[in-house]
Chain A
Amino acid sequence: MSTTAAGLSAQLAEARQFAVDAGRGDLAERLERASAALAERSDSVVAVVGEFKQGKSSLVNALLHTDLCPVDADVVTALPTILRFARPPAAFLISDGDRREPIEFAELPKHITGSDADPAPRAVEAGIDRRLLGAGLAVVDTPGVGGLDSAQGNLTLATLTTAGAALFVTDAAQELTAPEVDFLRRTRERCPRTFLVLTKTDLHVEWRRIASINEAHLKRAGLDVPIIGVSSFLRVRAHARDDTALNEESGFPRLVELLRREIVDADRSERIDSARAELGFVVAQLRDRLDAEESAADPRRAERYAERARRSAQLVTGTWQTVLGDGIQDLAADVDHDLRERLRLIIIRGEQLLAESDPRNTWQDFQAWAAREASRAAADNLMLLVARAEQLARDVADRFGMEAHDLSATLPAVGPAVHKARDLELDFQKSTMQQFLGAFTAARVAYGGFFVLGGVGALVGVAWAAPLGLLAGVAFGRRLVKAEKERQVQQRRHQAGQELRRYVDEVGFHVGRDSRESVRRTQRHLRDEFATRARELSRSAAAAEAAVRESVSLTGEQRRTRAATVAEQRRRLERLAP
Chain B
Amino acid sequence: MSLLDDTRTLLDRAVAETRDPRLARARGRLDEPLRVAIAGKLKAGKSTLLNALIGEELAPTDAGECTRVVTWYADGPTYAVTSYLTDGNAEARPFTRRDGAVRIDLGRPSFQVERLEVRVPSARLRRHTLIDTPGIESLSADVSARTTAFLEAEGEHATQTDAVIYLLRHLHSGDVRFLEAFHGDDGAGTPVNAIGVLSRADEIGGCRLDAMTAAERVADRYATDERLRKLCPVVVPVAGLLGAAGATLREGEFRVLAQVAELPMDDIVELLLTADRFAATGDERRRLVTRLGLFGVRLGTRLIREGHVTDAAGLAAALTENSGITRLREVLRTHIEGRAEVLKARSALAALDDCLPPGSPLVAEAERIRAGAHEFVELRLLHQLRSGRLPVADDRRAELDRLLGGAGSAPSERLGVPADDVVDAARTAQARWQRLAEHPLSARDFKAAARAAARTCEGILAGQNQQG
B43 touches A364 (CB 8 A): no
Q: Which of B211, B275, B290 has the most CB atoms of chain A within a 10 A radius of its CB?
A: B275
Inter-chain contact A205/B289, CB cutoff 8 Å: yes
Interface centre among A173, A213, A472, A481 (most CB of B within 10 A): A173
- Interface-forming stretch among A84-92, A144-152, A440-448, A507-515? A144-152
Contact of A364 among B227, B274, B278 (CB under 8 A): B227
Nearest-neighbor residue (CB-CB) of B65 within chain A: A175
Distance in Å: Cβ of A203 to nearest Cβ of chain B = 5
Which residue of B has the minimal Cβ distance to A473?
B444
B214 within 8 A of A: yes
Q: Does B432 contact A (CB under 8 A)?
A: no
User: Do A203 and B203 contact each other (CB < 8 Å), given the known contacts A175-B139, A364-B227?
Assistant: yes
Is B217 within 8 A of A181, CB to CB?
Answer: no
Q: Is the CB of B221 within 8 A of A74?
A: yes
Which of the candidate stretches A1-9, A462-470, A559-567 sits at the interface with the other chain?
Answer: A462-470
Is B43 touching A174 in the complex (CB atoms < 8 A)? yes
Give the residues in chain A near B227, CB-CB below 8 Å: 148, 364-365
Chain A contacts of B393 at CB under 8 A?
Answer: none
A361 within 8 A of B: yes
A147 touches B172 (CB 8 A): yes
Let me know if A51 and B172 touch, CB within 8 A. Answer: yes
A74 touches B276 (CB 8 A): no
A231 and B65 alpha carbons, distance in the complex (Å): 23
A177 B41 Cβ-Cβ under 8 A? yes
Contact call A203/B170, Cβ cutoff below 8 A: no
Contacts of B214 in A (CB 8 A): 73-74
Q: Is B63 an interface residue, CB under 8 A from the partner? A: yes
B177's nearest neighbour on chain A, judged by CB, is A365
Chain A interface residue count: which class?
Answer: 35 or more
Interface string of B248-287 (1 = CB under 8 A from A): 0000000000000000000000000111101100000010
Q: Which residue of B lies closest to A54 (CB)?
A: B170
Docked Cα-Cα span, A205 to B277, in Å, equals 9
CB atoms of B273 and A234 under 8 A apart: yes
B391: CB under 8 A from chain A?
A: yes
Chain A 236-256, CB-CB to B under 8 Å as 1, else 0, gives 010000000000010000000
B139 touches A178 (CB 8 A): yes
Q: Which residues of B contact A472 (CB under 8 A)?
A: 444
Minimum distance in angstroms from A288 CB to a CB of chain B: 59
Q: Are A467 and B388 in contact (CB under 8 A)?
A: no
Interface of A is mostly: loop
B442 neighbours in A (Cβ, 8 Å): 470
Within the complex, what minimum Cβ distance (angstroms) separates B263 from chain A?
Answer: 19
Contact B171 A148 (CB under 8 A): yes
Q: Which residues of B contact A52 (CB under 8 A)?
A: 170
Q: How distant is the Cα of A150 from the Cα of B203 in the complex, in angstroms?
A: 24
A204 to B227, CA, bound (A): 32
Whether B141 is near chain A, meaning CB under 8 Å from some CB there, is yes
Tell me how far the C-beta of A539 lies from the nearest C-beta in chain B, rounded to whole angstroms. 60
Q: How far is the CB of B285 from chain A (nearest CB, A)?
A: 10
Q: Does A57 make an interface contact (CB < 8 A)?
A: no
A201 to B226, CA, bound (A): 34
Which residues of B in the span 289-325 have a Cβ within 8 Å of any Cβ on A?
Answer: 289-290, 294
- Select which of A176, A178, A202, A469 is within 8 A of B276 by beta carbon: A202
| A269–B206 alpha-carbon span in the complex (Å) | 40
**Closest Cβ–Cβ distance, residue A472 to chain B (whole Å):** 8
B222 → chain A closest CB, angstroms: 10
- Report the bound CA distance from A220 to B205 in whole Å: 32
Interface of chain A residues 164 through 217 with chain B (CB within 8 A):
173-179, 181, 200-207, 209-210, 213, 217
- Cβ-based interface call for A53 (8 A): yes
Give CA–CA (A220, B139) in the complex, Å. 10
Interface residues of A in 321-351 (CB under 8 A from B): none
Chain B residues with CB below 8 A from A205, complex form? 63, 275-276, 278-279, 286, 289-290, 294
> Which residues of chain A in 451-469 are interfacial with respect to chain B, using CB atoms and an 8 Å cutoff?
467-469
Say yes or no for A233: interface residue by CB 8 A criterion: yes
**Which residues of chain B are within 8 angstroms of A249 by Cβ–Cβ distance?**
274
Q: How far is the CB of B198 from chain A (nearest CB, A)?
A: 11
CA distance A148 to B229 in the complex (A): 13
CB B439 to nearest CB in A, in angstroms, measures 10
C-alpha gap A148/B176 in the complex (Å): 8
Q: Closest residue to B204 on the A side, CB-wise?
A: A73
Task: Say yes or no: A361 contacts B387, CB within 8 Å.
Answer: yes
Measured CB to CB, the closest approach of chain B to A240, in angstroms, equals 13
Chain A nearest CB, measured from B29 CB (Å): 31
Closest to A153 in B: B173
B420-463 contact mask (Cβ, 8 Å, vs A): 1 or 0: 00000000000000000000111111000000000000000000
A54 to B: closest C-beta gap in Å: 9
CB neighbours (8 Å) of B207 from chain A are 203
Kindly report which residue of chain B lies nearest to residue A358, judged by CB atoms: B389
Would B173 and A177 count as touching, CB distance under 8 A? no
Q: Determine whether the beta carbon of A470 is less than 8 Å from that of B273.
A: no
Residues from chain B with Cβ under 8 Å of A473 in the complex: 444
Question: A555 to chain B: closest CB distance in Å?
Answer: 84
State which of A173, A177, A179, A202 has its C-beta within 8 Å of the C-beta of B274.
Answer: A202
What CA separation (Å) do A51 and B173 show in the bound complex? 11
Q: Report if B27 contacts A (CB, 8 A).
A: no
Closest to A231 in B: B274
Docked complex Cα distance between A148 and B391 (Å):
26
Q: Which of B64, B275, B391 contacts A213 (CB 8 A)?
A: B64
Instruction: Tell me, yes or no, whether B9 is within 8 Å of chain A by CB.
Output: no
Contact B440 A147 (CB under 8 A): no
Inter-chain CA distance A178–B65, complex, in Å, is: 13
On whether the beta carbons of B388 and A361 are closer than 8 Å, the reply is yes
What residues of A have a CB within 8 angstroms of the CB of B361 in the complex? none
Q: Quick check: is B144 within 8 A (CB to CB) of the other chain?
A: yes
Find B139's partner among A173, A181, A201, A364 (CB 8 Å cutoff): A181
> Do A210 and B440 touch across chains, with their CB atoms under 8 A apart?
no
Complex partner residue of B173 from A53, A148, A173, A231, CB under 8 angstroms: A148
Contact of B294 among A177, A203, A365 (CB under 8 A): A203
Give the CA-CA distance A150 to B63 in the complex, in Å: 28
Select from chain A the residue with minimum beta-carbon distance to B41: A177
Q: List 14 A-B contacts (CB under 8 A).
A: A51-B172, A73-B215, A74-B218, A148-B171, A175-B139, A178-B139, A179-B137, A202-B275, A203-B207, A205-B275, A234-B273, A237-B273, A364-B227, A470-B443
Q: Which positions in B face A, CB cutoff 8 Å?
A: 41-43, 63-65, 137-139, 141, 144, 169-174, 176, 180, 200, 203-207, 211, 214-215, 217-218, 221, 225-227, 273-276, 278-279, 286, 289-290, 294, 387-389, 391, 440-445
New A-B pairs, 12, CB < 8 Å, besides A73-B204, A209-B63: A73-B217, A173-B169, A173-B200, A173-B203, A177-B42, A203-B203, A203-B274, A205-B278, A206-B290, A234-B274, A469-B444, A470-B444
- A-B pairs with lowest CB-CB distance, top 8: A174-B43, A206-B63, A73-B205, A73-B214, A202-B274, A205-B275, A473-B444, A177-B137
